[in-house]
Amino acid sequence: MQAESVAPSRVRRRSRTWLLLAVVAIVLLVVFAIAYAVNSARMVDAQVRQANQAVKLAIQHRDTVDKAINDYVEANVPSDPTGYKALVDKDLPEVDAVLRTVRRDQASVKAAEVNLGTGIGFTLTKRDAQVAEAKLTQDARSGLANAEQVLVEIRDQLLMLQPLAQGVIEMRGLIAKAQANDFNGALAAFGSAKQQVQTALDRSHQADIPAEFGVLAGLLKSGLDALQQEISALQTNDLSAARQAQTQLQALSNQFDALEARFDSVDASNRQMFQPLIDSYHKGVQAATVV
């Protein structure tokens, strides 16, 4: 009996396609990883440079900030209203300009800090530089926030003192007219003087305004009212009304004398309020300084 011939089983040749694809995929992954690492490093370098430039610019403005603060806190104040008003008129635009600079620095440092945060974790090789620069931006922002607060408080005081000084100048002017028997001219000047003092009084209610400033504005307002009453009475020869107004003015004069003693403590109170903020500003800027 002849044995059945069995066809040899077909040997499946292993396809090399999958191997080729795997090799290509691995190569692409390696290339991508290298490119990603390079690009991430470059991006982080750019972010660190941006943050560094923003912080350095803020540090460079320290002398300007200190000058604006000291020009107000350490000023030798003239005793005459005209000289005092001139000093306020000089300080106010300086403080406004420096405040705008500080706020620009704050915005730049904050933007750089946010930008740094987007890159943290992208690359391990640059992480230390990112973290270090982020710490510097945080220190700078903390310091700038304190500088901003001091400048805002100084500006608020100057904005209150400006119309107050102008009101005193106009009050002296109308008194001079009354003494020269120009009653009509004196009475015509009350409207502007009262408006200046009222503006100062309205601005004196903020927390960063020394209470003495508000009391002074209130006394000046009452003084203008009584003085107007007296001049009107003199113009019409109403001696009773004139004496009544003089009594009010004498009482106000006594209150002015009592208030004058309190003003000796205003500068000290301002320093006490400002100094911790100034110290914190300097501390933040110093900590942000790259050695």
- Domains in the chain: how many in total? 1
**Does residue 25 have a pLDDT over 50?**
no
User: Does residue 223 form part of some domain?
Assistant: yes
User: Does residue 201 form part of some domain?
Assistant: yes
Q: Cα 82 to chain center, whole Å?
A: 28
User: Does residue 97 form part of some domain?
Assistant: yes
- 148 vs 43, residue with greater confidence: 148
The percent of residues in the chain predicted with pLDDT above 70, rounded, is 77
User: Does residue 82 form part of some domain?
Assistant: yes
**Does residue 23 have a pLDDT over 60?**
no
The pLDDT of 19-43, averaged and rounded, is 46
| Residue 239, both tokens | 């001696």
User: Which domain, by its residues, includes 257?
Assistant: 27-285
User: Does residue 37 form part of some domain?
Assistant: yes
pLDDT level of residue 240 (50, 70, 90 thresholds):
very high
User: Does residue 17 form part of some domain?
Assistant: no
pLDDT in tens, 96-128: 999 999 999 999 888 877 776 654 554 545 566
Q: What is the pTM of this model?
A: 0.79
- In whole angstroms, what is the distance from residue 77 CA to residue 31 CA? 71
Q: Cite the DSSP H helix spans in the chain.
A: 17-60, 62-73, 81-119, 127-179, 183-203, 211-235, 239-262, 266-288
pLDDT level of residue 137 (50, 70, 90 thresholds):
confident
User: Does residue 198 form part of some domain?
Assistant: yes
User: Does residue 15 form part of some domain?
Assistant: no
- In whole angstroms, what is the distance from residue 162 CA to residue 145 CA? 26
